[in-house]
Amino acid sequence: MSEQVFSTRGVTRGMGAEVQGCVTNGCGSGQPYPQGAHRSLEWLDTVPVTGLSVPELRDLATTVGRIKSKAEAKLCEIAAAITRSGTCATPASVLQDDARMSGRDARQMARVAKHLTAMPNTAERLSTGDITLDHAASLASAAERCGTRLVDSDAGLLERAGSAPCDLFAIQARQFTARHSPDQGEALLQRQRRARTLALFEDRDTGMGKLIAELDPISHSLVEQAIDSRADALYRDDSGRDGRAESVRTYQQRRADSLFELVTNRDASTHQPLAAGSSRANGHPEAVPANGPARGSVRVGSPNHLVVVAELGVVDGTDPGGRCEILGVGPVPASVLARLSPDTSLAGMIFAGDGQPLWLGRSRRLANAPQQLAVAVRDRGCVICDAPMHRCEIHHVRAWHDGGTTDVTNLVALCHTHHRRHHDRAGPRHYARAGPG
């Protein structure tokens, strides 16, 4: 191992030999703490933080994060060795007592360690610091349902583990599981529906009323869309387009008010019933701002609107195990199609082999409904931050006023924030969206 394995543009120095020394020089020697480990801990104590620039702080955070992952990998090795030793002590108890981990974290690490013995590719990525323990835990959960060999040999899944934040990757791992284990996906959805619950209570300390709900992912997606759509209407009512919305109420306050109005059909500020003709009255379609959609965009998604994407074989029954998913939710069992309401709209699309829509027509500046649907199926959310489609707008990659066409190949989905940031900056932008894993 090089003396400069951990290099942070001159901020971090000389860690390599010490970390390696902890692995090779102290184990089994009778020393309570390898000398290299002492020097590693001393290095962490002496790393300068005050006075560093933001790029240097970010680089240092990356280095320390990799060190943390390597330490977690070593603890997993210790847990596996405890299991092999046949002693009465459990790996979780050793990690909790000697590594001073919480009971929950110790049990999770022991579970991950058990799977890593049969997942060499995952173990290697953890040991090199390319992924965190949370990523490894998501891979282990997928392995429990799909098999260790399938998960550990999927290069695309492992690549996403190395690039995605752990919370986003947890969703991707669950989607991978549903795609490769349809029967378990059906059983999981049924368990989730049976586990739905709602608690309403008063906080004794603050006197505030609290609501805590647990819903299956399909129901949650519908509720989320309805709340976000109502919150956007409140944003416009609060003069959000003029930049004054936050002085009226915060984003979280608008979401709370949206839930109240959707449940009671009363104005959140006055508690009076919403007028029947109001754009916020239940059952009334969301009104478009008087000045039209912002900057030539079209809102994608609406309350109580789900986009189900299914291959033809799933629809006609010739391939029940084919692709079936709800945008923003992920893969779902094909049985979801049988529960669609009678007024559900069906739309067919033609795709190229790589999943790109071939043609949907063009005749105006704003994207029409089929084009919006095609972009939604292709991009699956904001191409920059993965915000769900109901929070996105359709954007021309090459601007309309610069000769850009309203065609699917020139349209991408951007969330409100990134769409606004794009128009606030000059110059061309390039967008790419990887296909589904």
State the sign of the Cα–Cα–Cα–Cα dihedral 11, 14, 20, 22: negative
Compute CA distances 350 → 28, 356, 359, 378, 420, whole Å. Answer: 64, 9, 7, 12, 31
| pTM more than 0.85 | no
**Percent of the chain scoring above 90 in pLDDT:** 25
pLDDT score of 221: 85
Residue 305 — pLDDT band, cuts 50, 70, 90?
low
Identify the weakest region by mean pLDDT among 6-20, 59-73, 293-307. Answer: 6-20
Distance in angstroms (rounded) separating the CA atoms of residues 298 and 316: 33
How much is the average pLDDT of 237-265?
Answer: 82
pLDDT score of 425: 62
Distance in angstroms (rounded) separating the CA atoms of residues 45 and 137: 29
pLDDT score of 113: 93
pLDDT score of 131: 92
Closest by CA to 109, choosing from 158, 83, 72, 82, is 72
Compute CA distances 129 → 69, 152, 164, 320, whole Å. Answer: 5, 17, 14, 40
Distance in angstroms (rounded) separating the CA atoms of residues 90 and 107: 10
- The model's pLDDT over 329-343, given as tens digits with 9 standing for 90+, comes to 777 777 777 666 655
The two structure tokens encoding residue 146: 């799909």
Closest by CA to 282, choosing from 254, 262, 306, is 262
- The model's pLDDT over 361-418, given as tens digits with 9 standing for 90+, comes to 444 667 777 778 888 888 888 888 888 888 888 888 887 777 777 788 888 999 888 8
Q: Is the pLDDT of residue 110 over 60?
A: yes
Closest by CA to 355, choosing from 380, 372, 335, is 380
pLDDT score of 436: 40
pLDDT score of 429: 53
More reliable by pLDDT, 131 or 431: 131
The two structure tokens encoding residue 39: 């020097």
Q: Is the pLDDT of residue 26 over 80?
A: no
Residue 111 — pLDDT band, cuts 50, 70, 90?
very high
Distance in angstroms (rounded) separating the CA atoms of residues 274 and 266: 5
